[in-house]
Amino acid sequence: MMRDHFRVLLYDLTVGKGKYVNLDGRNSAVGGSGLAALLYSQYGQPQLPWNDPAQPLIFAIGPLTGMFPLMSKTVCAFKSSYHNQYTESHAGGRMAVALAFAGLDALVLTGRAPRLSCLGIGTHAMELKDVEFLRGKDASVAGKMMRKIFNAGSGHRSLLRIGSAGERGSSMACINVDTYRHFGRLGGGASMGVKNLKGLIVQGDGDYSLLDSKEYVSVYNKVYSQMTDTRMMTKYHDLGTAANMQSLNDIESLPWNNLQKTSDAGIEAISGNTFAEETLLRNGACSACPVGCIHIGYIREKVGEEHRYHYHQVPYDYEPIFAAGSMLGVKNAFDVLRILDVMELGCIDVMSGGVALAWATEAFERGLITTEQTIIPLAFGDSGNYVLAAEHLCNGTNDFYALLSQGTLRASEKYGGSEFACVLGQEMAGYATGELFFAAQALGFRHSHLDTGAYSYDQKHSEKNVEAGVKFLMEDEPGRVFLTSMVACLFARSVYSDEQLAECLESVGYNEIAASIPAVSEQIRKERWKVRIATGFHPDHIDIPKRFYSVKTWKGDVDKEYLDELKQEYGRRIMFLMDDK
Amino acid sequence: MVMKILTAPRMDRCIGCHSCSLACARLVHKKLSWNTAGIRIHSSGGLTTGFVAENCMACDPAPCVEVCPTEAFIQRRGGGVIVKKNLCIRCGKCVDACPVDAIYQNHEKEVFVCIHCGRCVKYCPQDCLEMIEVSI
C-alpha cells in the first residue's frame, strides 16, 4: 500500500470524464493538508472567483489512512464562497478509508455538471448520474435515494451529499458525510452545489497487499492499545466533547446569548452529562477508529392528537450544543437537538447557523430588524421559533435569510449591528477563553479553534505577554499541520506525537518522511499559507468586532490593547512566513 | 473434545469502526481492506439503522464444502471450513452456496472466509464478538 507518489483521480464534471494521474511530492507534501495545497497550486485558479467552474474541489487523505487507528479524516480544500480565499474543511466518517481502499490519495473535481448530478467512483466504477429530481431534497432523503441509485458496495462506501443550502450557494452550506459527520465550515456545500454536484459516493472496494512485517503489526498494536486500554481517549469515549459545556461555563468562557455573557446558572440543563443521561441513543465511530466519539441523540415527535410518534437521530458535540444551545439561550437538551436536526437535514453548518441566529436575535431585540425580515419573532430561549428560523436559514426563505446565510457580517452590513456580530474570520467557535483565542481564530488558517491550541493556552495563562502568546501560536501550528497532513483525527494528538508518528511511518516504509517531520511540517505550513495568501488573505482585512472587547472571562475583562497587539503581531508573523527563507 | 467458533452475539453494541475486519485482513490475509476479511461489518440501509456482521455461521455440514470442486474447502470439525488456498480455482461456487453471504470474492476472484481463529475478537472495542466452545 505504501506509495512513493500520490495517486489522484482528476474528474471533470463538465464532460463527465475522469483520469488517474501519479504526482511526485510524497516526501515533501505528505498528504492531506500538504497534498491539498500542492493540488490547488497545480489545478487551482487563484485569480478566478470561487464559483468559477474551473476551481477544483479537492479531497485528500494521508499516507497512513486505513493503516493505523484514527487515521480517519479527510481534508476537503476549495476556494471558499465565504471569503473567496483558499481554505480547508476536515471530516471523519468513512470517506478517508473509502478513498484509500478505492486506491486514491486524492480526488480533484473540476468543471460543472450540466444538470444536478451524483458521482459514483470505486476501483472499477466511475459514473456521473443525473439526479435533477433530488433538487431541494434534504440530507436524509438524498442519502436514501443515492443508496438506491448506486447500489454497489453497500456498507463499504462513503456517501456525501448537500442540501438546498448548498444548491443555492449559501456560504454556510456544509457537505454531509455519512449522515453524522460534515465538511462543515466555510461553505464546502456551496462549492459542491456550484458544480451541480448533489452527491458523491466513494466505494472502498479494493484490497492491497501488506508486507508481512512484524514491525508494522507490533507498532499497530502499541498504538491501538494506547487508544483503547489507557485513559488517553476517555474524554471522547465517555461524554464526548459535550463535556466542555460544563467546564467552560465554570470558568466563564462559554458564549451565551450572542456572547452577552460567558456563564449561566442554568448550564446543567444542557451539560454533556445531561445530554448523555437523557438524550443519548447510541454511539458511532469513524471507520478505523475504535474510540467511537460520535454521540447520537434522539428526538421523539408527536404527530397530531393521538399517540402517534416518529423519531429522529441527531448527532451532537460540544460545538453544535454551544451554537444551538447556550449561544441562543436555549436550556433544554431536546430543544437543542430539534434546532440541530433542522440544520443537519438542510445541510447548513450548525456552528455558523447558530451564531448567525444569535446575532439576528440581538438585532431583533434592538429593533434593527423586525418580523418583516425574520418572519417570526426571535428571542433568546425561544426554541420553537428557532426551529422555524433554522428552516428559513437553510432555505433562504426571503432576502433577509438568504443574506444571513451568506455570513453574519454580510447581513450586518445591510441591517447594522456589526459591532455585536460574533465573527472571527467566520462565525465564532465556542470558546470565549480570552484574547489569544480571539486573535487566533480571527487570523487562523481555517478560522478554526483547531488551527492552534489558543483556547487551551488562554485557560492556563493569565499573564499578558504578546511575545509568549504569539510564539505559542507559531510553534503550535506546524505540529497540527503535520497531523492534518497525515490526516489523523486531532483527538489523537496525545497519542500521535512526532516520535510515535515517525515509528508508524517507518514501520510501513515511509522512512524519509519519518526522518524529517519537523522540517516537513514547517514547509507544509508555509506552502499552505502561500496558497491562502495568493487567493487574497491579509490580516489587515480582518476586523475583530466590538463584542469581543466587552467579554468577561475568568481572567477578568478582555484587554483591548493586549488583544489588538496580539492580532497585529500574529498577523505580522504569518506574513513573515512568506519572507522567511 | 471441544472446538471454538467465532460468534457475533452482541452486534447491537457495534459502532461500525471496522476494527475487527481490518484486523482479520491485516493479520490473517496480509491485506489492507474492508472486504478481504472473514468478518465484514455493514450498515444496513444507512448508518441510522445500526450494523450487521457478515461472518461464517460454522455450518456442519457446510454447503460451501459440498459445492467446492477441488476440495479447497474442507469441513472443519466443530463447524466451518478449512481453506487450502493453493487448491482454489476461484470458481466462486462457494460464494453462491453460502446462505448468509459470508464468503467474499475480490476483483481477482480470490475468496475469503472466516477460519474461526479468533484473532479479530480482541480488537472489538465494544465486546461484540466471542469465541464459543462447541462439542464434537
Burial, A183: exposed, middle or buried (Cβ in 10 Å; 0-12, 13-18, 19+)? buried
| Nearest-angstrom CA–CA distance, A411 and B128 | 51
One-letter amino acid for residue A511 of the chain: N
Contacts of B37 in chain A (CB under 8 A): none
DSSP annotation of B20: H
Nearest CB to B32 within list A1, A69, A283: A1
Write the CATH number of the domain with boundaries A430-576: 1.10.599.10
CATH of A6-203, one of 3.60.9.10, 3.40.50.720, 3.30.1450.10, 3.90.550.10: 3.60.9.10
Give B85→chain A minimum CA distance, Å. Answer: 16
The CATH fold assigned to A231-426 is 1.10.569
Among A172-176, A199-203, A267-271, A446-450, the minimum mean pLDDT is found in A446-450
Is pLDDT at A580 greater than 80 in this prediction? Answer: no
pLDDT value of position A96: 98
Residue A414 has a CB neighbour count (10 Å cut-off) of 14
The chain-wide mean pLDDT, for chain A, equals 96
Is pLDDT at A213 greater than 90 in this prediction? Answer: no
Domain edges within chain B: 2-135
Give Cα separations from A220 to A352, A571, B123 (angstroms). 38, 40, 11
| Nearest-angstrom CA–CA distance, A118 and A193 | 11
Query: What is the mean predicted confidence (pLDDT) over A551-576?
Result: 96
Contacts of B123 in chain A (CB under 8 A): 224, 290
Query: What is the mean predicted confidence (pLDDT) over A213-226?
Result: 95
Query: Least CA distance to B41: which residue of chain A?
Result: A155
Is pLDDT at A554 greater than 90 in this prediction? Answer: no
Instruction: Quote the percentage of chain A above a pLDDT of 90.
Output: 95
DSSP annotation of A429: P
Cβ distance B22 to A208 less than 8 Å, yes or no, reads no
Contacts of B40 in chain A (CB under 8 A): 155-156
Contacts of A561 (CB under 8 A, 6+ apart): none
The complex scores an ipTM of: 0.96
Decide if A56 contacts A36 (C-beta within 8 A): no
Structure confidence by residue, pLDDT tens digits, A469-524: 999 999 999 999 999 999 999 999 999 999 999 999 999 999 999 999 999 999 99
Contacts of B33 in chain A (CB under 8 A): 101, 206-208
H/E element, A100: helix A95-101
Q: How confident is the model at residue A251 (pLDDT cuts 50, 70, 90)?
A: very high
Q: How confident is the model at residue B1 (pLDDT cuts 50, 70, 90)?
A: confident
Structure confidence by residue, pLDDT tens digits, A259-284: 999 999 999 999 999 999 999 999 99
What are the residues of chain B with a beta carbon less than 8 Å away from any beta carbon of chain A? 15-19, 22, 25-27, 30-36, 40-48, 50, 106-107, 123, 125-126
Query: What is the mean predicted confidence (pLDDT) over B1-30?
Result: 96
Query: Least CA distance to A225: which residue of chain B?
Result: B123
Give B12→chain A minimum CA distance, Å. Answer: 10
pLDDT value of position A154: 82
Cα radius of gyration rounded to whole Å, chain B: 14
Decide if A346 contacts A390 (C-beta within 8 A): yes
Query: What is the mean predicted confidence (pLDDT) over A440-453?
Result: 96
Query: What is the mean predicted confidence (pLDDT) over A36-52?
Result: 98
Give B109→chain A minimum CA distance, Å. Answer: 12
The CATH fold assigned to B2-135 is Alpha-Beta Plaits (3.30.70)
Is pLDDT at A377 greater than 70 in this prediction? Answer: yes
Find where cell 431534497 sits: A137
Structure confidence by residue, pLDDT tens digits, A104-153: 999 999 999 999 999 999 999 999 999 999 999 999 999 999 999 998 88
Is pLDDT at A1 greater than 70 in this prediction? Answer: no
Structure confidence by residue, pLDDT tens digits, A57-87: 999 999 999 999 999 999 999 999 999 999 9
Domain edges within chain A: 6-203, 231-426, 430-576
Structure confidence by residue, pLDDT tens digits, B46-72: 777 789 999 999 999 999 999 999 999
B75-106 burial by CB neighbour count: b if 16+ within 10 A, else e? bbebbbbebeeeebeebebbbebbeeebbbbb
